[in-house]
Structure 1
Amino acid sequence: MGIILGENQYGKAENRVVRIYRETPRHEIKDINVGSALRGDFTAAHTDGDQRKVLPTDTQKQTAYAYAKEKGIASIEQYGLELARHFVDDYEPVDGARIEIEEYAWERAVVDGKEHDHTWVRKGQEVRTADITVEGKGEGQKTWVIGGLKDLVVLKSTGSEFHDFLEDEYTILQPTTDRVMSTSLVAKWRFTTTDVDWEAIYPAIKQIIVDTFATVQSLALQQTLYQMGKTILETYDFIAEVKLSAPNIHHFVYDLSPFGLENNKEVFNADDRPYGLIQATVTRDDAPDAGPAWTQQMAWLG
């Protein structure tokens, strides 16, 4: 029996980078969390402890901070592309790089009725994400970009049903034609090009997601997720597929009868555990191959 080294990568996870733009009296801020992973033939490092091909993870961290100044962070997608291409193009042993970024939004503080030039309040609605993978050298180099969001918590008080489901001897759930539906949504969409207005496309896709959640008379959360992905693909021909993950944040009508009170779907108990987890991929039937686009920095630990 022979023993060989399998899939491997190494990098620096969760570098917290805050970039302040001070060129004018009205400052701007970008607040991000950056992870990098390098791929290549690093067999000797594992089998013999030979580090001659290994770019230190500390160097990757320093590069993330330096590039925030040198290249700027106009968008997390563009910043991630700059980083990934640098690692692949400028270091011979590296034939692939993965950059994963989260962006934390801030909004300006309002003082005396006016937006303040250099004070912000953390905006906690959701976290924007980007995953960039670059592989290969020169003209054969390939790039994959995935945009996304997580922690988008949405709720609607009606417009959701759940009935006619499969039942067995353990089923006690009652069918309903009117329920509260809530979730903390994760969505990711794969681009087929890097010729994209990154700062315009993100809010537009987020709006599609919110609009769809609000307006679809949902017979199941699955139906709502599919319609979100379908609408995104119908709207943007440069998006190949959409992946969605939605925990069902259950809201149960609370029994107020012991107190002589009628509860006409007005008071609920919000249960965060256990929860149904609904996940779906919506894709074009002619979508280009995803390659390593979905191979995450910590993929095999998930």
Structure 2
Amino acid sequence: MAIVLGGNRYGKAEVRLVRIDRDGEEHGITDLTVSVALSGDLADTHLRGTNDKVLATDTQKNTVYAFARDGIGSIEDFGLRLARHFVGTQPSIHFARVAIEQHSWSRLSIDGAPARHSFARTGDGTRTAVVSHDGERSWVLSGITDLTVLNSTDSEFWGFPRDEYTTLAETKDRILATAVNASWRHAAAGDTDWEASFRTARTGLLEAFAGTYSFSLQQTLYAMGERVLQRVPGVAEVRLSLPNKHHFLTDLSPFGLDNPGEVFYAADRPYGLIEGTVLRDDAPPAGPAWD
């Protein structure tokens, strides 16, 4: 029986980067967490401990900061620049993946006027991008995580199988809440307006959630993915992971009070987790970006 080295990669994870754009008196802020993973001709490193083909992870971190000096732009473009650099400059590196989270900030106001250099972290979800490059082709996934949304009505859940372990009551009116985690795969990594694409996709997700009378979170998931594909022609596939943030009606009868659907207990765990993919029937293969 032979023992061989399988797939492997290495890199610098969670590089924290904040860039302040100081063009004029009104400043801008870009707050990122960048993770780099590289793979290629690294068998000797694993089998014999030689490091002549290993680009140090500290060098990867420094490259992230150095590239930010020239500006960041969209996180998809920043990821493409980095991934292509690592593969293009290191003969031993054949594949690079750069995953980026963009943490959102909003500009503060002073007496109703926008502050020039003051910001607050927002709860609008975290924008994401995962960029992969193999020396010839590039793949781009855009997305958003932890975008918490809630419908206070227009949601039902009934007609499900019942057995000896079922205690859940059927309902024709419930709160539906989730933290949206969505990624969408672009059919090509060419000349794309990443900012407009992201805004349109995010708006589509929110509009579909708000506008769907839901009989299940699965139904809502499909409607959200479908809306993104309808609104953004360059997207081939959408993957969603939706935890069901349960809200249970609180029993106030011990206190002599009724509860006409107004007071709820928000449970954090356990929770239902609904996941699914919505794609065009002619979508090209996903490639390594989803791995």
> What is the TM-score normalised by the length of structure 1?
0.94
Which shifted more, 21-30 or 36-45? Answer: 21-30
Deviation at 1:281, TM superposition (A): 0.7
The answer (yes or no) to whether the contact 2:38–2:93 under 8 Å persists in 1 is: yes
Tell me the secondary structure at the aligned position of residue 26 of structure 1: coil
Deviation at 1:25, TM superposition (A): 1.2
Equivalent position of 2:152 in the other structure: 157
Amino acid paired to 1:217: Y
Q: Distance in 1 between matches of 2:234 and 2:117?
A: 37
Equivalent position of 2:113 in the other structure: 114
Amino acid paired to 2:32: I
Amino acid paired to 1:244: L
Could you list the per-position Cα deviations for residues 18-38 of structure 1 after superposition, in whole angstroms to 9, with x for gaps in the alignment? 111112111111110000001
Q: Distance in 1 between matches of 2:30 and 2:163?
A: 52
Q: 1:229 aligns with which of 220, 225, 231?
A: 225
Q: Distance in 2 between matches of 1:192 and 1:95?
A: 22
Q: 2:139 aligns with which of 124, 136, 144?
A: 144
Over the aligned positions, Cα root-mean-square deviation in angstroms equals 0.9
Deviation at 1:236, TM superposition (A): 2.1
Equivalent position of 2:268 in the other structure: 272
Structure 2, unaligned runs of 5 or more: none
Equivalent position of 1:298 in the other structure: none
Could you list the per-position Cα deviations for residues 64-98 of structure 1 after superposition, in whole angstroms to 9, with x for gaps in the alignment? 0000012x111100000000000011111111000
Amino acid paired to 1:147: S
Amino acid paired to 2:272: G
Q: Distance in 2 between matches of 1:196 and 1:166?
A: 46
Amino acid paired to 2:8: N
Equivalent position of 1:300 in the other structure: none
Tell me the secondary structure at the aligned position of residue 270 of structure 2: strand
The answer (yes or no) to whether the contact 2:200–2:231 under 8 Å persists in 1 is: no
Deviation at 1:124, TM superposition (A): 2.1
Could you list the per-position Cα deviations for residues 120-166 of structure 1 after superposition, in whole angstroms to 9, with x for gaps in the alignment? 11112210000000013xxxx01100000000000111010101011
Could you list the per-position Cα deviations for residues 236-289 of structure 1 after superposition, in whole angstroms to 9, with x for gaps in the alignment? 221110000011011111000111111011100111110000000111121111
Q: Distance in 1 between matches of 2:126 and 2:23?
A: 27
Equivalent position of 2:39 in the other structure: 39
Please list, as runs of the form range in 1=range in 2, the aligned pairs for 1:149-298 lying within 5 A after superposition. 149-194=144-189, 195-295=191-291
Q: Does 1:132 align with 2:134?
A: no
> What is the TM-score normalised by the length of structure 2?
0.98
Structure 1, unaligned runs of 5 or more: 296-302
The answer (yes or no) to whether the contact 2:197–2:232 under 8 Å persists in 1 is: no
Q: Which runs of 4+ in 1 moved over 6 A?
A: none
Amino acid paired to 1:58: D
The answer (yes or no) to whether the contact 2:83–2:96 under 8 Å persists in 1 is: yes
Q: How many residues align?
A: 290
Could you list the per-position Cα deviations for residues 8-63 of structure 1 after superposition, in whole angstroms to 9, with x for gaps in the alignment? 00000000001111121111111100000011010000010010111000000000
Q: Distance in 1 between matches of 2:239 and 2:228?
A: 11
Amino acid paired to 1:291: G
Tell me the secondary structure at the aligned position of residue 267 of structure 2: strand
Amino acid paired to 1:31: D
Tell me the secondary structure at the aligned position of residue 281 of structure 1: strand
Deviation at 1:112, TM superposition (A): 2.2
Amino acid paired to 1:131: V
